[in-house]
Amino acid sequence: MSTPALTTAPQAIDPTFENVWDEIVWRGLVHVSTDQEALRALLAGDPITYYCGFDPTAPSLHLGHLVQLLLLRRLQLAGHKPIGLVGGSTGLIGDPRPTAERTLNTRETVAEWVDRLRAQVERYLSFEGENAAQMVNNLDWTAPLSAIDFLREIGKHYRVGTMLKKDAVAARLNSDAGISYTEFSYQILQGLDFLELYRQYDCVLQTGGSDQWGNLTSGTDLIHRVEGASVHAIGTPLITNSDGTKFGKSEGNAIWIDADLTSPYAFYQFWLSTADADVIERLKVFTFLTKAEIEEYAELVATEPFRRAAQKRLALEVVATVHGVEATAAVIAASEALFGQGDLTALDAATLRSALDELPNATVAAGTPVVDALVATGLVSSLSEARRAIAQGGVSLDGERVEDDSATVQGTLPGGVSVLRRGKKTLAGVFLA
């Protein structure tokens, strides 16, 4: 299938800002940080080395991590040198959650997830040029370290009273679950990471979510004590919807950037459904559109919200960044065809299948009457209701109106599937057994 050419924003720093610090502040990416004036001067000067860490506590990164990946990229575009760290050692422990102890994964599982996450992080960075990115694994410097050496060389610089005040630790201490020494020690390991990167690469800035602020400052404090140097940290805000709900989760299900865990079609629909109250902030955080372009979309949201122009551009930009332009074109074509604005028979089979997975669907045998398929998919509640809907001209199969209630499902669309429609907007997928 040929897909239409798409135009996306180039990955670039907005030249209307005096320096990248001003841009990331405007984009709402700085919730908390070390000295802001010092950071602004640092990012306006000669190239620095900075890093962000990603723990393999799942087989994929999710939308919260995407904030960090794009921040890494923005700073690299400004000329600075990124380090992507995947936590082969910290992933064996896991940072403390607010409510309960993490289940420890096997070493084999963590090693596999390290490889998966490393490949994901690498897609967002450039490994060429004077400010080429580097990837590291903290297992490389923690594995050779004995418990005695760890306690003597690193542990002695930490004060338990200070560690107890960290938000994540304090929350767990006040919970019924308490906290194990293993997870209590996590902040020391993350501090060690920053120290090691400072020593090896002259790394002077760490970024992360603001909920990780205690872990971020663990490193800045350790470097100050051990090396007598001042380094920096930026904590990005936790992205929430305007109604206060947690961004990127619905009934506890994360939105993953791995296409096998969240399909590109589902990913596209997620962004397309962004509320008017949230879409401009999402454009700032998750796209490379300029300030002027985003202000134009803000005007469209205010004057012509029914066109959903900002949501369409947001979905286009983010899906193209994560899954590529070709996959984005395919899901846009599928979305339009399903809702009557394109040719269903011209769709890519895999994309169509993933789209139907997101709709009500049922599996039936080839030759099943449409009336039975309508009931099986839940589009109607009974055979008599199915027959009435057909008689009223309100049912279509694979884009063609069903005229006779003796019609059958044959799976004529790519991949051997069918699409049932009742009315203008109520759809269901039919898979053949």
CA distances from 387 to 125, 375, 396, 406, 425 (A): 56, 11, 13, 9, 19
Residue 128: count other Cβ atoms within 10 Å of its Cβ. 7
Q: What percent of the chain has pLDDT over 90?
A: 79
Least confident of 123-137, 173-187, 367-381: 173-187
Residue 252 has pLDDT above 70, yes or no: no
| Spatial separation of the C-alpha atoms in residues 43 and 23, rounded to whole Å | 11
- The residues facing 232 across adjacent strands are 205
What are 309-358's pLDDT values in tens digits? 999 999 999 999 999 999 999 999 998 888 877 788 888 899 999 999 98
Strands (E) in 182-285, as ranges, are 203-209, 232-236, 249-250, 253-254
User: If you average pLDDT over residues 223-248, what whole number do you get?
Assistant: 92
User: If you average pLDDT over residues 169-186, what whole number do you get?
Assistant: 85
Residue 263 has pLDDT above 90, yes or no: yes
Least confident of 106-120, 247-261, 304-318: 247-261
Least confident of 55-59, 83-87, 97-101, 171-175: 97-101
pTM across the whole model: 0.91
Sign, CA dihedral 276-281-283-286, equals: negative
What pLDDT, on the 0 to 100 scale, is given for residue 249?
A: 65
User: 270, 254 in Cβ contact below 8 A?
Assistant: no
Least confident of 45-59, 159-173, 402-416: 159-173
> Which pLDDT band holds residue 25 (cuts at 50, 70, 90)?
very high
What pLDDT, on the 0 to 100 scale, is given for residue 2?
A: 43
Is the CATH code 3.40.50.620 the one for domain 29-236? yes
**Residue 263's closest CA among 310, 333, 316, 319?**
319
User: If you average pLDDT over residues 108-132, what whole number do you get?
Assistant: 97
**Residue 188's closest CA among 232, 235, 225?**
225
Residue 3 has pLDDT above 50, yes or no: no
Strands (E) in 219-374, as ranges, are 232-236, 249-250, 253-254, 361-364
Q: Mean of the per-residue pLDDT values for the chain?
A: 93
State the DSSP code for 261.
Answer: T
| Spatial separation of the C-alpha atoms in residues 94 and 87, rounded to whole Å | 9
What pLDDT, on the 0 to 100 scale, is given for residue 243?
A: 84
| Spatial separation of the C-alpha atoms in residues 322 and 337, rounded to whole Å | 23
User: 104, 141 in Cβ contact below 8 A?
Assistant: no
User: If you average pLDDT over residues 21-43, what whole number do you get?
Assistant: 98
Residue 170 has pLDDT above 80, yes or no: yes
Domain ranges of the chain: 29-236, 240-349, 359-433
Q: For domain 359-433, which CATH number applies: 3.10.290.10, 3.40.605.10, 2.40.30.10, 3.40.50.720?
A: 3.10.290.10
Q: Which two tokens stand for residue 413?
A: 């669309």
User: If you average pLDDT over residues 49-74, what whole number do you get?
Assistant: 97
Residue 16 has pLDDT above 90, yes or no: yes
| Spatial separation of the C-alpha atoms in residues 305 and 302, rounded to whole Å | 6
| Spatial separation of the C-alpha atoms in residues 386 and 371, rounded to whole Å | 5
150 membership: H or E segment, kind and range: helix 147-153
Estimate the crossing angle of helix 325-338 against helix 264-272, to 10 degrees.
70
Identify which has the larger pLDDT, 381 or 95: 381
**Residue 412's closest CA among 361, 332, 346, 351?**
346
> Which pLDDT band holds residue 418 (cuts at 50, 70, 90)?
very high
Residue 309: count other Cβ atoms within 10 Å of its Cβ. 16
> Which pLDDT band holds residue 154 (cuts at 50, 70, 90)?
very high
Residue 253 has pLDDT above 80, yes or no: no
Residue 183 has pLDDT above 70, yes or no: yes
Place of tokens 């947001």: 314
Q: Which two tokens stand for residue 67?
A: 């904030």
User: If you average pLDDT over residues 387-397, what whole number do you get?
Assistant: 93
Q: Which two tokens stand for residue 336?
A: 């339009």
Q: Which CATH class is domain 240-349?
A: mainly alpha
Helix (H, G, I), strand (E, B), or coil: what is residue 182? helix
Residue 35 has pLDDT above 60, yes or no: yes
| Spatial separation of the C-alpha atoms in residues 110 and 102, rounded to whole Å | 14
> What burial class does residue 360 get, using C-beta atoms within 10 Å of its C-beta: 0-12 exposed, 13-18 middle, 19+ buried?
middle
What pLDDT, on the 0 to 100 scale, is given for residue 1?
A: 39
Residue 251 has pLDDT above 80, yes or no: no
Cα 115 to chain centroid distance, Å, stands at 18
| Burial track 169-178 (b if 16+ CB lie within 10 A, e otherwise) | bbebeeeeee
